[in-house]
Structure 1
Amino acid sequence: MSYNQPTAAQPLSESDGRLWATLTHLSALVGIVIGVGTIGWLGPLIIFLVFKDRSPFVRQHAATTLNFQITMAIAAIVAIVLWIVLVGFLLTAAIYIITIVFSILAAVAANRGEPYTYPLSIRFIR
């Protein structure tokens, strides 16, 4: 008998799926706060890579969160460029407020077991 045989990942229960989908959104929020807006994508990426094959619900929420974080990163880069013309600080503030509000709404939806699609988000990951 060989102990080195790979085993298929076990599917997540519905409650575990809701928990990890919620944590996907909250990890983005924590990454934004701790990383000053630079690592909001890291938590959702890790959850996506670990659980994408174990739960379609978690995969959908993680992909949605990653798409939103990438979109907001692009918007933040544009805002930084616009700081030169003294308008970027308003855009930067708006981006952080939008990101925080939509991340909280998404976490609540995930906790309820509902799908959520971020508005203003470009779909990079499907």
Structure 2
Amino acid sequence: MTDPNAQPPVDPSQNPPQSPQAPQGPTSPPPPYGGQQPQPGQPYPGQQPPAGQPGYGQQPPAQPYGQQPYGQQQYGQVPPQQYPYQGQQTGAAPLTQAEDKQWASFAHFGGALGAFLGAGTAGWIAPLIIYLVYKDRGPFTRQESKEALNFQLTITIYVVGLYILGTILALVLIGFLLYPLAWIVGILGVIFGIIGGVKVNNGEAYRYFHAIRMVK
């Protein structure tokens, strides 16, 4: 008798033996939603980042305030070499109202003194120096020193021209009459220079009756 629980014999011709499968390595996880592959060096979602590197989608920790590397500036900060901070001196200090009026009057008085000492030919020196030094520090000084400079330059041109013309015409005995005229013009430079200095010292702007506006 046969055992009812016994398995029937297997025919090798009907069921060939299967070859064992080669071991497979770890499969890569599927790409995230949207089909985008992560950037090189960044872990897949769900994976832990390597030690010492920030995680996926995380920003590296910001450096503490005031400890930025040398030569770099924080966002929104203005480097001090571009814009002066409060109290930083960027140039010569502006004149006060009293100093502005004082140097403006010195330009006229200095022109009168130079015209007197130089016989009408050196009145432009003091106004020129004051104009170059203080023209950007006081508006009243800039205006009045320029006015005095133009007037004294005009006086110098007239005086020198009369002397030259008088010397040339001296050959016909007429040029000697131009020398006194040159002295008179020089005296006018002294007188009106003093008047201009007094007016400006009182806080009034002064304009000469005649001047060639060479300095604009």
Given the two structures, how large is their TM-score scaled by the length of structure 2? 0.53
CA contact under 8 A between 1:81 and 1:88: conserved in structure 2? no
Q: For 1:79, which of 145, 155, 162 is the aligned residue?
A: 162
The residue that corresponds to 2:178 in the other structure is: 88
The residue that corresponds to 1:47 in the other structure is: 130
| Residue 105 in structure 1 maps to residue 195 in structure 2 | yes
Decide which structure has the larger Cα Rg and report it: 2
Which structure: greater helix fraction? 1
Q: For 1:56, which of 131, 134, 139 is the aligned residue?
A: 139
Aligned ranges 1:10-29 → 2 under 5 Å: 10-29=93-112
CA contact under 8 A between 2:119 and 2:186: conserved in structure 1? no
Q: Greater RCO between the two (CA within 8 Å, min separation 6)?
A: 1
The residue that corresponds to 1:122 in the other structure is: 212
Gaps of 5+ in 1: none
Task: Look up the SS of the partner of 1:86 in the other structure.
Answer: helix
Give the Å deviation of 1:30.
1.9
**Deviation beyond 4 Å, 4+ runs, structure 1:** none
Name the CA shift for 1:34/1:97 in 2 (closer, same or farther; >3 Å). Answer: closer
Name the CA shift for 1:19/1:65 in 2 (closer, same or farther; >3 Å). Answer: same
Aligned length: 124
Q: Distance in 2 between matches of 1:98 and 1:33?
A: 10
Identity across aligned pairs (percent)?
A: 37
Q: Distance in 2 between matches of 1:33 and 1:108?
A: 17
Gaps of 5+ in 2: 1-79, 82-87
Give the AA of the match of 2:188. I
Q: Distance in 2 between matches of 1:42 and 1:119?
A: 20
Q: Distance in 2 between matches of 1:63 and 1:6?
A: 27
Q: Distance in 1 between matches of 2:144 and 2:178?
A: 30
What RMSD over aligned residues (CA atoms) do the two structures have, in Å? 2.0
